[in-house]
Structure 1
Amino acid sequence: MSGKNILLLAGDFVEDYEIMVPFQALQAVGHEVHAVCPERTADDTVKTAVHDFRGDQTYLETRGHDFALNATFDDIDPADYDALVVPGGRAPEYLRNYDQVIDAVQHFFEADKPVACICHGMQILAAADVVEGYGCTAYPALEYDVEEAGGTWHDGVTTDRNLVTAQAWPDHPEWLSQFLEVLGTEVSHGEPVPADD
């Protein structure tokens, strides 16, 4: 199986783990991932935020890393990509106001291409008017948003047709596993090869 071309949406204060982990994990299994942000170019960076869950009524946020983009949003054509990843964090609340972001998201749904969305990334999908009729999840505080957008709320990682959704970064193992399945990615686990002495 040849690798897929995957588009990943980014913006300042995207959730650190929700962009770093899929970006690296999808490359590790042979896919090409282009991380883009409106008004930024390849080699620019976006600031990330780490959301931690410590028993409070909502998440605690701290400053994360500088994440380097590797493609320019204005130069990409969504038709050239096989799948889309939409991370969470604070970025989705303003990224959803960019027409080019909404147009890109709508392309993936109109073309029935795989989409992985986690946490507050659902704010972008809801704004793009693509959630109606899907069973999905998001950060728990967005249950109202999912239902208002016409989706059916689920409490855990959910795959419905081309859409794979998760609540937050602790869901990564199951979320990425289900996304790889939708992508048609097969990961084989051979016997470990001992290192030469």
Structure 2
Amino acid sequence: MSPQARRDDLIRAALDLFGSRAPELVTVDDIVARAEVSRPLFYRYFSSLRELQVQALRTVTDGLIDGLAGLEEGPPEVRLRAAVRGLIDVADHYRAGYIALLRSGSVISTSETDAAIDEVRNRAVALILDALGVTDPSPLLSLTLRCWTAVVEGALLSWLQERTVPRESLDTWLVDQLTAMLGATAQHEPAGTTGVPAGS
């Protein structure tokens, strides 16, 4: 197995374990047992458990960005629903890792993981602007989209932990939330300001 393949295997083992417990509760012994390697081999590829935790969580954020990467053809609502479904799929697949990334006060939160989360948020905003056909958003529209990304994060965190809402309705509900927020923003835009497209 190549060095990169071995690293990837250890990261997969950690993410598998994150599915049953919080990342900060997963030990090196847990990971090497799951990956069926020795502790010395683990430390050939990662200098510390912390480094592996950060790399594993970076895998989650990379997955979220990939989930946002492909926009379907069609009207904005169809394209945005597809993107939200991609986010839901990745968040559900990496449930514990996603919760750890966004949980306030997480002991494994670092400036690197925070930057990775911001990258996902920035990608989400860029995607929405592209779907809406807006190249020069007003400050109020930009603020609206940032607020909506917080709504999505909060909703997914609650849904992953409680499962009180059917998965099939999540993407439609979240896009409806965005539509309502865009409508409110349009009513407050100054005349002549580039913001929400007509009809949003």
Question: Could you tell me the TM-score, scaled by structure 2's length?
Answer: 0.28
| Greater relative contact order (CA < 8 Å, ≥ 6 in sequence) | 2
Q: Which has the higher strand share?
A: 1
Q: Which has the higher helix share?
A: 2
Question: Could you tell me the TM-score, scaled by structure 1's length?
Answer: 0.28
